[in-house]
Chain A
């Protein structure tokens, strides 16, 4: 997909930094975002977290569409809240799939360019549409588009003024694999050109493919932040929890405690809860131990394989 790299904007001398200082947001008694501080500079950053972690609330505060209950969000030192001037530097692609369906993609992007009072709105609109590969369908009404095409049109509108900072809320939702790949390449090239790109996702693999830097949110808090590979290792090396039922739980508990891969055993009424440091070593060891003692394992269930538990482990780490 060579069009992406050729159409991408050239690196500019100026870069922008988005800073969050002790930002919290609550709705009544519910805390959606809890004391988050981060500084986003040039390059692509993934905002990772399970659904309901507060990613969208955080993005809305970054984009000036929500006031923090506490703390401050600034773009190059200026607050984003009640300050339309920040939109000269900032573009937003919200998760909500809302577009003026009665306009064509070209009309929509051109209107956005005019709202930004760009010197040559027609050229800017064409450039942005080329960037997302929507030139072929640009004269059809948006109402006739697929979900992925609508998403790309919204990205074109957000990019029409060539912003320094681009915020995208779940940008890969509803895209087919080819569109997904193209969007990933586009984000990469924008990041390489010195833009500050932040996109949210609840899918680990998406973030892995696009960004080297991640901010992980769990239950409103910033659980981890930094290089993706380090965090990924932290996630895979976490203790695994298994629920086991056998013909003799007590004897099995004693035997398992002797093993180095096991870090804890709890004997309950419904069986054992075992914590193991190494997933592979534990699952290979268990049948041997049971066989040697003549114990039959009736059930072995890994308890924390959901993404939520991976995330929540990071909070505790």
Chain B
């Protein structure tokens, strides 16, 4: 493990906000187990739990906590300066941090989604959800890492994207789904395991291209922004 990854992992799991990651996945699995146990038809509980909670809330919120935590938290408290006063090329700082963020998000989200998919339909749906969510984790965290370099309030910006853009607009104005990671994840999962439980208007090819563009674009943006990282100056 590179030194940057090691510091990032220690920083991520050493802070209390790490505990925020736990309740949502537990809730997801709990609701799936409860619905299955009560004998509710998967067609009734599947979409609200898998998509409404799993893909629309758990995935982006966990990615937001982790994605803004790996770099944004260090920028906030100033410790990022220690890593930046080394001759490391900036991509060697951004990529390990992104890998840790995407990995942590993927594990936290894919496992409960696999369980919920399994309970709703089949192993295939479980695997499809886990894979698609992992791809989504990479896209979301790339976006939120970039956000932590673009603004001093990355959590706020991320929440606006997740709640207003994806949560509200993409349900009302279907055209905005072309710029919604949530819908890319649904499209990918539905392609891997076609069921009646997942549906979106975004095609798989659009989802694949847009996901790649977001991951690559946000990563390059992060590397470039980190090269020009400025410490806030004296205000007086």
**A residues near B, CB below 8 A?**
25, 27, 32, 51-52, 54-57, 60, 63, 65-67, 81-82, 84-88, 90-92, 94, 96, 98-100, 102-103, 108, 111-112, 114-117, 157-158
A87 to B84, CA, bound (A): 9
A16 to B234, CA, bound (A): 27
**Distance (whole angstroms) from the CB of A80 to the closest CB of chain B:** 11
B7 touches A98 (CB 8 A): no
A111 touches B3 (CB 8 A): yes
A109 to B88, CA, bound (A): 16
> In the complex, which of the residues B11, B79, B230 contacts A98, with contact meaning CB atoms closer than 8 Å?
B79
> Across the interface, which residues of A come within 8 angstroms of B39, CB to CB?
none
> Across the interface, which residues of B come within 8 angstroms of A87, CB to CB?
85-87
> In the complex, which of the residues B3, B81, B86 contacts A84, with contact meaning CB atoms closer than 8 Å?
B86
Count of interface residues, chain B, beta-carbon cutoff 8 Å: 29
> Across the interface, which residues of A come within 8 angstroms of B229, CB to CB?
65
Contact with A along B208-236 (1 / 0, CB 8 A): 00000000000000000001111101101
B175 at the interface (CB under 8 A from A): no
Listed by A's residue number, 19 A-B pairs whose Cβ atoms lie within 8 Å are A52-B236, A56-B233, A57-B234, A65-B229, A82-B227, A84-B86, A84-B88, A84-B89, A86-B87, A87-B87, A98-B81, A99-B79, A100-B11, A100-B82, A102-B10, A102-B11, A102-B15, A111-B3, A111-B6
**Distance (whole angstroms) from the CB of A56 to the closest CB of chain B:** 5
A108 to B79, CA, bound (A): 11
Contact with A along B65-79 (1 / 0, CB 8 A): 000000000000111
A88 to B77, CA, bound (A): 24
> Across the interface, which residues of B come within 8 angstroms of A116, CB to CB?
86-87
B81 touches A32 (CB 8 A): no
- Residue among A51, A88, A111, A117 with the most chain B CB within 10 A? A111
**B residues near A, CB below 8 A?**
3-4, 6-7, 10-11, 14-15, 77-79, 81-90, 227-231, 233-234, 236
Contacts A56-B234, A98-B77 known; A115 to B10 CB distance under 8 Å? Answer: no
Given A32-B234, A57-B234, output 9 extra A-B contacts at Cβ < 8 Å.
Answer: A27-B233, A63-B85, A65-B84, A65-B230, A65-B231, A67-B228, A87-B86, A94-B231, A99-B79
> In the complex, which of the residues A51, A60, A90, A103 contacts B233, with contact meaning CB atoms closer than 8 Å?
A60
> Across the interface, which residues of B come within 8 angstroms of A81, CB to CB?
228
- Residue among B3, B15, B86, B88 with the most chain A CB within 10 A? B86
Contacts A85-B87, A87-B87 known; A115 to B234 CB distance under 8 Å? Answer: no
B10 touches A51 (CB 8 A): no
> Across the interface, which residues of B come within 8 angstroms of A103, CB to CB?
7, 10
A65 touches B6 (CB 8 A): no
**Distance (whole angstroms) from the CB of A124 to the closest CB of chain B:** 13
A98 to B232, CA, bound (A): 14
A158 to B85, CA, bound (A): 8
**Distance (whole angstroms) from the CB of B214 to the closest CB of chain A:** 25
B236 touches A51 (CB 8 A): yes
> Across the interface, which residues of A come within 8 angstroms of B83, CB to CB?
115
**Distance (whole angstroms) from the CB of B173 to the closest CB of chain A:** 37
> Across the interface, which residues of A come within 8 angstroms of B78, CB to CB?
94, 96, 98
> Across the interface, which residues of A come within 8 angstroms of B233, CB to CB?
25, 27, 32, 56-57, 60, 66
> Across the interface, which residues of B come within 8 angstroms of A57, CB to CB?
233-234
Chain A minimum-CB-distance residue to B7: A111
Closest 9 CB pairs of A and B: A98-B78, A52-B236, A102-B14, A115-B86, A65-B231, A114-B3, A57-B233, A96-B78, A98-B79
Chain A minimum-CB-distance residue to B81: A94
> In the complex, which of the residues B10, B85, B228 contacts A100, with contact meaning CB atoms closer than 8 Å?
B10
A92 touches B85 (CB 8 A): yes
> Across the interface, which residues of A come within 8 angstroms of B7, CB to CB?
100, 103, 111
- Residue among A55, A56, A65, A92 with the most chain B CB within 10 A? A65
Chain A minimum-CB-distance residue to B230: A66
A66 to B231, CA, bound (A): 6
Chain B minimum-CB-distance residue to A26: B233
A67 to B229, CA, bound (A): 9
- Residue among B83, B227, B233 with the most chain A CB within 10 A? B233
